Chain A
Amino acid sequence: MIEKANLEIFAETLLSLAKKDKDIIVVTSDSRGSGKLTNFGKELPDQIIEVGIAEQNLVGICAGLSAVGKKVFGVSPSSFLTARALEQIKNDIAYSNHPVTLVGISSGVSYGQLGSTHHSIHDIAVLRAINNLNIVIPCDNFETQKVIQSAVNYSKPLFIRFGKKPMLKIHSDNKSFKIGKGIRVKEGKDLVFIATGETVQRAYQAIEILEKDNFKCTLISMHTIKPFDEYLFLQSIKNTRGIITLEEHSESGGLGEKCASILVQKKITTNFKIIGFPDEYMVNGSQSDVLDHYDMSPKRLVEIAKELIS
């Protein structure tokens, strides 16, 4: 079933939480429209701070608001938030330990033909390397709602990213959600897909095809990149014939390389494939065309899966 965009769920959830808690403050940088927060601004004008097109200023102001007791959500396109304001994130939020939630909207290649300046295929990698900053990438409406609810009183700096397209429903509403614990979506011995964010949907669709060909697959939605759920990862790959990781991000420094480093250090050798964006001048196109081009179409995933364990 196709649900809403995670972006919409984020905005709805935040507005309903903020109506009950006047300490929740949203900070935007000419980004309230892109963040679906226009309504928030109308309904709770005292709980939104607008800084103009100034992402570094935004992150610093978030730190300051947090320092005086506010529950702060800084919302800006992931590309500008995490590249432009990286030093503010590192020093003013993470190092100074202000439990701000930074929300990177339209992440990955959501901006399609607007090109590389607007894509964030670096954000997981650079933020993973910053101490005291946790990272969550929800895959569907359920995970998005849960992570926003969890973020309000979360004790640590947190980064959340998602796109703006309607998503497939992956989880039932009674699943349990906890930051730091991945969720097993499907269970099967032949192959394990470890995916994060909206690529979970693509893995899910590939598995539906593979199941028709009698391949049994495990799917993990690894929504939290940091702290990484090593236990679930190691449990789920026991006795499998192959592992595929999937992320809307550069192959460098993301989910796949995190998994690889665990495998090597645990001396586990198995068929293993990282799917992400290669280091090249990337092809231009819509988000879904770009994902398809870089092996993330369900059809290509099926081919890669079969090759991997043949």
Chain B
Amino acid sequence: MNIKDLQLKSIEYRKTILEIIYNSGAGHTAGSLSCIDILNVLYNNILDINPSNFNSIDRNHYIQSKGHSVEALYAVLCDKGFFTRKELNTLNNFNSHFIGHPTRKIQGIEHNTGALGHGLSVAVGMAIGLKLDKKPYKIFTLLGDGELSEGSIWEGLMSASKYKLDNLIIIIDRNRLQITGKTEDVNPLEPLREKFLSFGHAVHEVNGNSIKDLQSIFKKIPFEDQKTNIIIANTIKGNGISFIENKVIWHHKVPTKSEFQDALKELDKQTLSLKND
């Protein structure tokens, strides 16, 4: 898909995210908006995961470690035909399998996440397994930056380095916020790039809300021979909606009716200006 089509898709995905959160009355709004461009490029141009190959091991895999941003994943998987919008609209209803975190009860989801700091180790296990079988497929995983405080992340990073997992791609949604406030106030991460480098990985930084930059960085994989690929995706939490961007309360705030309408208006404007470009 070309850049412009993807950009238009991102706007549609943002709409879906807001709609399902607004309608179901719960969700992690800002974190879903910050990572949606990453998921967009992955699912539409890189991963080649679809309903017909999903049940096979012989394909690329994606594990969303920052499980709370499940609405972004739902928006993309719905678009890829894993389930219908009608099914997705049961989100948070009694007895629905569509809940506030990824579960394997939903077709298209690889692993149950929600407790932070688990996805990387599972991804490492899958990457080792595929290597043992000499399979050419890749494992992608998305981590939150606040999530990096969990010790298990650094345990996983050491294993990735030991087993030279060049088939593993770790993407950090570096939006610089978590629930309490700024990551650098809560538990400072910087110098982050240097930390990863010192663990022996190949690190690239990109603008994680730029379709173009994401597209070109994914094309560069594998970055270096026998090294795990780490992408620090610098994003804006709440990206795309002016009054949500960089506001800590929007971590799990649900838009009011007027906020919801204002947000949709902003998105419609973005679509128009893109189309007239």
Residues on the A chain within 8 Å of B100, using CB: 113-115
The 8 Å CB contact of B149, one of A32, A51, A116, A117, is: A51
Q: Give how many B residues have a beta carbon under 8 Å from the other chain's beta carbons.
A: 30
Given contacts A53-B116, A114-B99, A286-B94, 5 further A-B contacts (CB under 8 A): A30-B180, A54-B151, A113-B92, A117-B112, A118-B101
Is the CB–CB distance between A289 and B178 below 8 Å?
no
Query: Does B210 count as interface, using CB distance less than 8 angstroms?
Result: no
- Is there contact, CB below 8 Å, between B97 and A284? yes
Q: Give the nearest-CB partner of B186 in chain A.
A: A52
Contacts of A56 in B (CB 8 A): 151
**Which size bracket describes the interface of A in this complex?**
20 to 34
A109-144 contacts to B, CB under 8 A, are 113-118
Closest chain B residue, CB of each to CB of A34: B179
Q: For residue A57, which residue of chain B has the nearest CB?
A: B151
CB distance from A153 to the nearest CB of B (A): 29
Q: Which residues of B contact A286 (CB under 8 A)?
A: 94
* A53 close to B92 (CB less than 8 A): no
Which B residues have a C-beta under 8 Å from some C-beta of A? 26, 67, 92-97, 99-101, 103, 105, 112-117, 146-147, 149-151, 178-180, 183, 186-187
A50 with B150: CB separation less than 8 A? no
Which of A33, A80, A115, A285 is the one whose CB lies under 8 Å from B95? Answer: A285
Instruction: List the A side residues contacting B94 at CB < 8 Å.
Output: 283-286, 289, 293
A289 to B187 CA separation, bound complex (whole angstroms): 37
* B101 & A50 in contact (Cβ 8 Å cutoff): no
Residue pair B149, A114 in contact (C-beta under 8 Å): no
B5 shortest CB reach to chain A, Å: 33
Using a CB-CB cutoff of 8 Å, which residues 2-43 of chain A contact chain B?
28-34
- Answer yes or no: A300 CB below 8 A from chain B CBs: no
Report whether B146 and A53 are in contact in the complex, using a CB–CB cutoff of 8 Å.
Answer: yes
Given contacts A30-B146, A30-B180, A33-B179, contact A53 B117 (CB under 8 A): yes
The residue that A53 contacts in the complex, of B95, B101, B178, with Cβ under 8 A, is B178
Q: How far is the CA of A109 from the CA of B100 in the complex (A)?
A: 13
Does A221 sit at the interface, judged by CB under 8 A? no
CB-CB under 8 A for A54 and B180, given A114-B100, A117-B115, A285-B95? no
- Pair B97/A117 contact, Cβ less than 8 Å: no
The contact sample of 19 A-B pairs, CB cut-off 8 A, is A32-B180, A51-B187, A52-B178, A52-B186, A53-B187, A54-B149, A56-B151, A113-B26, A113-B99, A114-B99, A115-B99, A115-B103, A116-B103, A117-B67, A117-B115, A281-B105, A283-B94, A284-B94, A285-B95
